[in-house]
Each structure stands twice: as C-alpha cells, then as structure tokens.
Amino acid sequence: MSPHVAIVTDSTAYLHPEAVRRHNISVVPLTVVIGDEALEEGTEISAPAVARALQRRHPVTTSRPSPAEFAAVYEAVADAGAEAIVSLHLSGEFSGTYDAALLAAKEAAVPVRVVDTGMVAMALGFTVLAAAETAEAGGTPDDVVAAAEKRADATSAYFYVDTLDYLRRGGRIGAAQALFGSALAVKPLLRLVDGRIELMEKVRTASKAITRLEEIVVEQTGTRRVTLAVHHLASADRAAALADRLRERVPGLDDLVVSEVGAVIGAHTGPGLLGVVISPH
C-alpha cells in the first residue's frame, strides 16, 4: 500500500484558498518587510498594500521562511498522519526558501522530498496541484515528485512590467539588462527560463507590449489542451481584458484563472505587472 503523502508549498504559489482546503495543502508563508515592519504574506499583508507602499517609495524587501517554520509545518503534517511529505517551492534563483526547506527536512520525523520547481506564482501553483492530485490517487513520493516535475517542465510564464527597476533593486534581473531597457525607454516582456527571469523582447509602448504578450501566449498554446493563469498587480482592468481575449483565441483552453499576485512577487515586479502562465495537460 502506498504511503500517505502530504503536500507542502509556500505562499508564492498563490493557490485559491478553496484549492488549498480541498487538497489539504500546507502553505508556509514568506515575509514582506515594509520599513521596519515584517508581515506574513497571505495573512498580514496584501498585494494592494505593497503596491501602495511601492508607489509611495517606501522601502520594501522580502525574506524567506526560517528552517524552524518549515520544521513546525513538517511536524504538524506528520502528527496528522502523513507518512511522507513532498515540499514544492519557488525557484531557488528567487529566494532561499528551498534551502530553508532542505535544512528542515533533515530533521523531520518522516521522509521529506524537497523540490525546487523553478517556478513561481501559478506556474508553481499548477505544479503543486499536479502533485496533490497524484498523492490523492495513491501515488508514492516518487510518483508525486515525477508528476510535479513533469508539470513544471511543461509550464511556461511570460510577463510584462512597466519598469525593470523593481526587479533590478531586488536582484531578480541583471543590472545590465535593467539598464539597457531603461536607457531605451522600452516596455519589457520577460519570461521564466531555468528558474530565472530573462528579458525576452523590448516593445516601445505598454499597449503594444500587452498585444505582443497576447500573441506570444496564442503562439505558445497552439491547439494543446491548457490551463492559463492571468496575473496582475494593480491592473485588474487590463488583466480582465486580456483574459477575455485569450478565452476567444485559445482553442484548447480548459480553464483560465485571473488573480492578483501576492505581496512577495508584487514587491519585486511593481504595479503594472501583467503576466500569463501556460500549463499544458
């Protein structure tokens, strides 16, 4: 009989609370620091609050969960009956969250497989859901990790930001790329590649950049069966309009989620973010 495998992730997966409850996923929060106040993502700080802080030029940083926080979650999950844990996290290129989880896993009462998915936001969320569904179907830890890695490998993410400055400040994109974009006064399109953010294209205006983002998504999806997520920060109208157009233009669309990113990702991208995650089945 396969062991009961519990799923743990972090708050940057941005899963809907109902999905977290339905699949009994444990979520370990990252922290946003505004000035000298440290606030947990998802419970103590919202994305709109981060957007306002950035617009007012307040200092905003983020920090990973501590190994002790992971240890407490692993202990609680084991006490609840889990015989093994698969812990899935945002790219190690963005955060030390994966490293903290690894440290905690060494002392856990049950075996813990820690996975750097190379993903973030719903690119991570879709990966976590694939793992949870495999665990619920009776999969072994190896099966669960394989399902997560398969979904992560197939998933892609493309996004637009009004400025590269926030990504540069947080060290999430190279200073040379940020300077080049700013010097030309262009609107950047970016993508996730091997767990890193890369500058993909430079477009002259915001409207043209968003149109190009839409075209990229349509090109990349083709006729495959896919689930999409449209993310934004302080750009609900633009996100809704893009989602409506993608519903009309993506023939293999199974589902489309529109959501504002959380405080941690928002702190690094800044207001105006518009992104699309493509997750094939």
Give the tokens for residue 130: 């694939």
| Pairing state between β 156-160 and 274-280 | antiparallel
- What pLDDT is recorded for position 188? 84
Burial letters 28-61, b for 16+ CB under 10 A, else e: bbbbbebeeeebbbbeebbbebbbebbeeeeebe
Greater model confidence, 94 or 22: 22
SS3 at position 46: coil
Band the pLDDT of 18: cuts 50, 70, 90.
very high
Domain boundaries, the chain: 5-30+65-153, 156-280
* Mean pLDDT taken over the chain: 91
Check: CATH 3.40.50.10170 for 5-30+65-153?
Answer: yes
Segment 234-249, tens digit of pLDDT: 999 999 999 999 999 9
Res 43 pLDDT > 60: yes
Average pLDDT, integer, range 112-120: 97
- What pLDDT is recorded for position 175? 47
Average pLDDT, integer, range 66-72: 98
DSSP symbols for 57-84: T--EEEEPPPHHHHHHHHHHHHHTT-SE
Q: Which pTM was predicted?
A: 0.92
Q: What is the CATH number of domain 156-280?
A: 3.30.1180.10
